[in-house]
């Protein structure tokens, strides 16, 4: 072995990786890049140890590692050689800068295209204050009860069963408890066989879009809608159409006009509190939507993301509760009820569809977190979630009222909004002279996060609206947040 190669070996005795592995990996690198070539004889372990000032056993372990992996071969009486079956490599210049400028850890060697619909901002608010998209206050979550239930799932019962593989449809106990819960609170008529447990609504939506929508299918949503839905439809290759939204929700007459011209496969709707505007789909339009579904044969995906938080009266029953034709897929989760960190959601539909989607789910996620699912089942069975929701509803109503009053008194004519009848955010419009992107950037510099709302704008239309979430902040935090907005706006 020539001395330049010795000079390139850099062994760090303080590194966490054992020295023999460092040596083995660097020799392997030399074989790959060319300084060492197929059939070349290596120094004896004694010579290598003396040259590198290592214990001979260290070199022997490095050689044994490379022999086991097939990089080297040993011939009794002749020594150790680079394996002859390896392809020849072109010798590279031995310099301290032997590494190429190309970094495979950052850039793949093959080409691929990232579809534009996947380029969506990921909301990660780490600031002390936040007027988010409408998240719950995780400080209210029943974590003590959840912790006890999770621990119980880990320790009690048959370990082979509880720690092994389970049903791809989800923990049977949670499906049963959830069926009873949805039947009681939402007027559904389900059994456990009608429910598929998923890791949040977004996973359920992916399964529905992938499994029930084909390339070229026509899909309809509101003109302003959740970007995640549109992204899933586009990923499935669907042709996406939109209909207007007014103070009564989705325009179902406009929907029928599309149905008269196109064979619509699916309609995505958030009828209880339309996202992002929070308006409720009026009763007559609900009935018409179900009628149109039967008449034109399209699937309704009902995303009921915050059913539990309705402040003026009893929440309207979901479309799924009045579905007599099996046309509605109903999705929800515990994200808004408990916390986004706990990825437990559900799809509700006809048994044959649920069985099909469970098979589809299996190829991307064998099963969910059975421990967590059974822990949530215990929360439902014991009534903890019911009590938590009653408490949260009262607190969130108070926070909504406080926040709306702060917007009126502190920001005055700079904003306009309707007090939402439900949900965890206020759909807020700002005076056209206020640049929301600039406002959001300046607010973040002062420790307040809110979304600038640019994805709610349509082609050639700048709404200058955004969702300001109030539920995750207590009254003091809401006052501080609005105070920051007032200060920035007044200085503009």
Whole-number pLDDT of residue 125 = 63
Whole-number pLDDT of residue 300 = 97
Residues 6+ apart with CB under 8 A from 312: 421, 422
- Average pLDDT on 344-367 reads 92
Confidence class of residue 368 from pLDDT cuts 50, 70 and 90?
Answer: confident
**Comparison of pLDDT for 466 and 8, the residue scoring more:** 466
- pLDDT, tens digit, 9 for 90 and up, residues 242-260: 999 999 999 999 999 999 9
Report the Cα 480 to chain-centroid distance in Å: 30
Residues 6+ apart with CB under 8 A from 134: 306, 336, 423, 424, 425, 467, 469, 471
Tell me the pTM: 0.79
Listed residue (135, 111, 115, 105) closest to 123, CA to CA:
135
Whole-number pLDDT of residue 4 = 63
φ/ψ (deg, to 5) at 135: -100, 155
Q: Is the pLDDT of residue 5 over 80?
A: no
Tokens, residue 270:
């958030």
Write b or e for each residue in 98-114: b if 16 or more Cβ atoms lie within 10 A of its Cβ, otherwise e.
eeeeeeeeeeeeeeeee
> What kind of fold does domain 3-82 have according to CATH?
Arc Repressor Mutant, subunit A (1.10.10)
Tokens, residue 459:
């082609």
Give the domain ranges of the chain: 3-82, 129-133+387-491, 143-382
Whole-number pLDDT of residue 163 = 78
Q: Is the pLDDT of residue 121 over 80?
A: no
Looking at the chain, the whole-number percentage of residues with pLDDT higher than 90 is: 60
**Comparison of pLDDT for 98 and 258, the residue scoring more:** 258
Number of Cβ within 10 Å of residue 186's Cβ equals: 21
Tokens, residue 175:
């499906």
Alpha-helical (H) ranges within 53-194 are: 56-69, 143-155, 159-162, 172-186
Residue 55 to residue 22: CA distance in whole angstroms? 14
The residues that bridge with 74 in the sheet, in sequence order, are: 80
Whole-number pLDDT of residue 271 = 92
**Comparison of pLDDT for 189 and 2, the residue scoring more:** 189
Q: Please, what is the average pLDDT of the chain?
A: 89
Tokens, residue 33:
């890049």
Confidence class of residue 90 from pLDDT cuts 50, 70 and 90?
Answer: low
Residue 335 to residue 332: CA distance in whole angstroms? 9
Residue 311 to residue 10: CA distance in whole angstroms? 67
Q: Is the pLDDT of residue 91 over 60?
A: no
Listed residue (286, 236, 288, 244) closest to 265, CA to CA:
236
Confidence class of residue 371 from pLDDT cuts 50, 70 and 90?
Answer: confident
**Which CATH class name applies to 129-133+387-491?**
alpha beta
Q: Is the pLDDT of residue 100 over 70?
A: no
Are residues 407 and 265 in contact, defined by beta-carbon separation less than 8 angstroms? no
- DSSP states of 160-222 as a string? HHHTS---TT--HHHHHHHHHHHHHHH-----GGGEEEESSHHHHHHHHHHHH--TT-EEEEE
| Long-range CB contact pairs, 317-322, < 8 A, 24+ | 317/186, 317/187, 318/186, 318/187, 318/188, 318/271, 318/272, 319/269, 319/271, 319/286, 319/289, 319/290, 320/186, 320/188, 320/348, 321/186, 321/187, 321/188, 321/189, 322/286, 322/287, 322/290
Report the Cα 82 to chain-centroid distance in Å: 47
> What kind of fold does domain 143-382 have according to CATH?
3.40.640
Whole-number pLDDT of residue 1 = 47
Question: Which of 47-56, 161-170, 210-219 is predicted most confidently?
Answer: 210-219
Are residues 326 and 175 in contact, defined by beta-carbon separation less than 8 angstroms? no
The residues that bridge with 468 in the sheet, in sequence order, are: 426
Confidence class of residue 98 from pLDDT cuts 50, 70 and 90?
Answer: very low
Question: Which of 6-15, 28-37, 158-167, 401-410 is predicted most confidently?
Answer: 401-410
The residues that bridge with 249 in the sheet, in sequence order, are: 246
Residue 239 to residue 220: CA distance in whole angstroms? 9
Looking at the chain, the whole-number percentage of residues with pLDDT higher than 70 is: 96
Stretch among 5-14, 58-67, 316-325, 473-482 having the lowest mean pLDDT: 5-14
* Cα-based distances in Å from 28 to 17, 62, 452, 461: 16, 10, 51, 58
Whole-number pLDDT of residue 94 = 47
Write b or e for each residue in 229-252: b if 16 or more Cβ atoms lie within 10 A of its Cβ, otherwise e.
bbbbbbebebebbbbebeeebbbb
- Average pLDDT on 342-361 reads 94
**Comparison of pLDDT for 209 and 160, the residue scoring more:** 209
Whole-number pLDDT of residue 99 = 52
Confidence class of residue 97 from pLDDT cuts 50, 70 and 90?
Answer: low
């Amino acid at each position: 072995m020539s001395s330049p190669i010795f000079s390139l070996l850099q062994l760090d005795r303080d590194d966490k990786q054992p020295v023999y592995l460092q040596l083995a990996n660097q020799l392997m690198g030399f074989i790959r890049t060319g300084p060492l070539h197929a059939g070349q004889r290596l120094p004896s372990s004694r010579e290598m140890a003396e040259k590198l000032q290592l214990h001979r056993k260290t070199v022997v372990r490095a050689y044994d590692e490379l022999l086991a992996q097939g990089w080297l071969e040993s011939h009794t009486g002749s020594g150790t050689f680079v394996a002859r079956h390896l392809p020849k490599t072109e010798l590279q210049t031995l310099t301290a800068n032997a590494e190429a400028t190309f970094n495979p850890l950052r850039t793949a060697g093959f080409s691929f295209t990232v579809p534009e619909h996947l380029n969506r901002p990921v909301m990660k608010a780490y600031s002390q204050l936040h007027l988010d998209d409408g998240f719950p206050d995780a400080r209210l979550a029943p974590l003590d009860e959840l912790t006890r239930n999770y621990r119980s799932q880990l320790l009690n019962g048959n370990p082979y069963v509880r720690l092994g593989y389970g049903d791809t449809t989800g923990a049977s106990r949670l499906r049963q408890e959830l069926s009873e819960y949805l039947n009681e609170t939402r007027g559904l008529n389900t059994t456990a066989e009608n429910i598929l447990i998923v890791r949040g609504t977004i996973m359920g939506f992916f399964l529905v879009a992938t499994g029930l929508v084909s390339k070229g299918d026509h899909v309809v949503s509101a003109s302003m809608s959740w970007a995640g839905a549109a992204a899933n439809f586009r990923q499935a290759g669907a042709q996406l159409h939109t209909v207007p939204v007014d103070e009564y929700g989705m325009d179902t007459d406009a929907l029928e006009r599309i149905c008269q011209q196109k064979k619509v496969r699916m309609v995505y709707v958030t009828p209880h509190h339309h996202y992002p505007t929070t308006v409720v789909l009026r009763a007559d339009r609900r009935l018409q939507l179900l009628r149109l579904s039967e008449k034109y044969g399209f699937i309704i995906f009902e995303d009921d993301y915050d059913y539990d938080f309705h402040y003026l009266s009893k929440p309207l029953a979901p479309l799924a509760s009045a579905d007599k034709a099996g046309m509605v897929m109903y999705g929800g989760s515990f994200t808004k009820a408990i916390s986004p960190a706990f990825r437990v959601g559900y799809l509700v539909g006809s048994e044959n569809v649920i069985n099909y989607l469970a098979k589809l789910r299996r190829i991307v996620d064998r099963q969910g977190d059975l421990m967590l699912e059974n822990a949530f089942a215990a929360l439902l069975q014991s009534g903890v979630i019911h009590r938590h929701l009653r408490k949260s509803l009262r607190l969130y109503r108070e926070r909504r009222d406080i926040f709306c009053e702060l917007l009126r008194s502190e920001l005055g004519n700079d904003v306009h909004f309707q007090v939402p009848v439900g949900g965890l955010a206020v759909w807020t419009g700002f005076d056209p002279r206020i640049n929301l992107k600039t406002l959001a950037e300046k607010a973040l510099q002062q420790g307040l996060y809110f979304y600038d709302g640019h994805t709610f704008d349509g082609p050639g239309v700048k709404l200058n609206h955004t969702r300001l979430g109030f539920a995750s902040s207590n009254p003091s935090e809401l006052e501080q947040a609005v105070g920051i907005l007032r200060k920035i706006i007044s200085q503009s």
